[in-house]
Amino acid sequence: MSISQTVRDFITLAIQSGGWMEMDRIYLENRVIALIGEDSLETSELRPVTASSVELADQLLDQAQKNGLITEMQAERDILEGQLMDLMTPPPSVVNAYFAQYYSKDPVQATDYFFKLSKDNDYIKTRDIARNIIFPAETAYGTLEITINLSKPEKDPKQIAAERTAVKVDYPKCMLCMENEGYKGRMNYPARTNHRIIRMNLDGESWGMQYSPYAYYNEHCIVLSEEHRPMKITRDSFQRLLKITEVLPHYFVGSNADLPIVGGSILSHDHYQGGRHTFPMAVAEMERTFELQDFPMIKAGIVKWPLSVIRLQSKNANELVDAATMILEKWKNYSDEAVQVVAVTEDDTLHHTITPIARRNGELFELDLVLRDNNVSEEFPDGIFHPHPDVQHIKKENIGLIEVMGLAVLPPRLATELKEVENYLLDEKNEIADYHVEWADQLKTTETITAENVTEVVQKAVGAVFARVLEDAGVFKRDVEGQEAFTRFITTL
């Protein structure tokens, strides 16, 4: 197929995306040839297009590289791809108008539209996400979800060098600022030309909703404040989370904790994460219930989960906000040194917060409050309630919102490392990492391992480690002493 035919087909899809009309075709085709370094177009056929926009963009990028406009460096390709895919994406005002039009019929139709648009224009990196290794893990807490994250492409040495010499620019202030919408990108900052944000009004404040480019689960979205301000778990957080479940009742939404060690990777910008996915924690049952004296209409209980989770249910969202705020304030000042739970240290540093998750459960609003503590000790300098050293060969990063709910996001190094563990278990030639040897030796003594089942054995073992990781993050342990301590805290409520 000629490059002119590729350009024509690409623009046919751009017009179909809803941002342009047939009258715009010549203008758009000229925009594309300028971007890829062509001087003219040959006669080509106007026809039904069967290739995807992503496939056509690949051909256009290859032509741009042949023409010397870009090199093979991934950052250069990404920047140009964003500019091409911007033509595949209606302007923000039009995207928001379409979203509102669909929303007036059904919120599901609105998110379906925006999600499809974000995949079609390659803002959501579906091909990269497909590289992730995903498998289930049966545990005492139900079926956990394991992901080895391979979606973000590794940078080549040339790009790393280019990033080091790139001029430092404080714009946008972070990856979540609204100024990312339409931003060209640079060597040390991702391209966002094809990025769009749905505007939301949450109790008089301006917020936005976008999808995550490297989604960890179905329709992984981010709800972000227009103002660049630090994350903080307060009464307003609970109110906003429940409001979002009113606006998008088919989505859950939650927040990372707002303290280091137990918080997420971006604490500098107030935001939440949500999506259309049922996490293992959502189907975990309350193993015992209790009454909140000041809130007799709320059903409250402790969830059967490795972390310490209080679940609240009510038809009244405002009542849930009041109850959650009371629990947060109690927890921020609660200590039980018998189980190493300390709210405030001598330097007046606060150590307690909550990871909250909101969802709809039929007619009920449901709020899960995960108790978090970021204290450290001589024995556990990375965090008392953080993955302990014996499991850090699998997971040593922070346990954020997604992991809290039962989905492990494991580092890409494990893709090759676990293959070497399999070779070691089969007594074949291997390059097993030293920090996996003790774990692998334990598997050798406890499992019958064959060439046919070795992958299953390793994956099952990884799931067991992740369950332990979550237990480490639980402030009230699952043993008798820990549950008695949990009861002591519940009594204060």
Whether 352 and 417 map to the same domain: the answer is no
Domains in the chain, number: 3
Least confident of 126-135, 149-158, 347-356, 407-416: 149-158
DSSP reduced 3-state for 196: coil
- Residue 116: inside a domain, yes or no? no
- Nearest to 78, CA basis, from 177, 214, 210: 214
Judge residue 165's burial from the number of C-beta atoms within 10 Å of its C-beta, 0-12 exposed, 13-18 middle, 19 or more buried. Answer: exposed
- Cβ of 32: how many Cβ atoms within 10 Å? 24
Q: What is the pLDDT of residue 154?
A: 67
Whether 225 and 278 map to the same domain: the answer is yes
Render pLDDT for 160-197 as a digit per residue (tens, 0 to 9).
677 777 778 899 999 999 999 999 999 999 999 999 99
Residue with tokens 């224009």: 121
Q: What is the pLDDT of residue 156?
A: 66
- Residue 363: inside a domain, yes or no? yes
- Nearest to 465, CA basis, from 133, 147, 142, 137: 137
Q: What is the pLDDT of residue 427?
A: 96
Q: What is the pLDDT of residue 482?
A: 98
> How far apart, in whole angstroms, are the C-alpha atoms of residue 29 and residue 23?
11
Mean residue pLDDT across the chain: 96
Least confident of 165-174, 188-197, 313-322, 365-374: 165-174
Interval 322-343 mean pLDDT = 97
Judge residue 297's burial from the number of C-beta atoms within 10 Å of its C-beta, 0-12 exposed, 13-18 middle, 19 or more buried. Answer: exposed
| Half-sphere exposure in the Cβ direction for 467 (13 Å, CA) | 19
Question: What is the pTM (predicted TM-score) of this model?
Answer: 0.94
Whether 260 and 371 map to the same domain: the answer is yes
Render pLDDT for 432-473 as a digit per residue (tens, 0 to 9).
999 999 999 999 999 999 999 999 999 999 999 999 999 999
Q: What is the pLDDT of residue 365?
A: 98
- Residue 113: inside a domain, yes or no? no
- Residue 467: inside a domain, yes or no? yes
> How far apart, in whole angstroms, are the C-alpha atoms of residue 60 and residue 14?
14
All residues at 6 or more sequence positions from 38 whose CB lies less than 8 Å from its CB, including other chains: 3, 7, 63, 67
Quote the tokens at residue 393: 């060969």
Whether 306 and 349 map to the same domain: the answer is yes
Domain of residue 14 covers 3-69
Q: Give the residues across from 208 on adjacent strands.
A: 199, 224
- Nearest to 354, CA basis, from 192, 219, 241, 469: 241
Whether 360 and 247 map to the same domain: the answer is yes
Whether 342 and 451 map to the same domain: the answer is no
Residue 395 has pLDDT above 80, yes or no: yes
- Nearest to 224, CA basis, from 163, 164, 159, 268: 268
> How far apart, in whole angstroms, are the C-alpha atoms of residue 247 and residue 358?
12
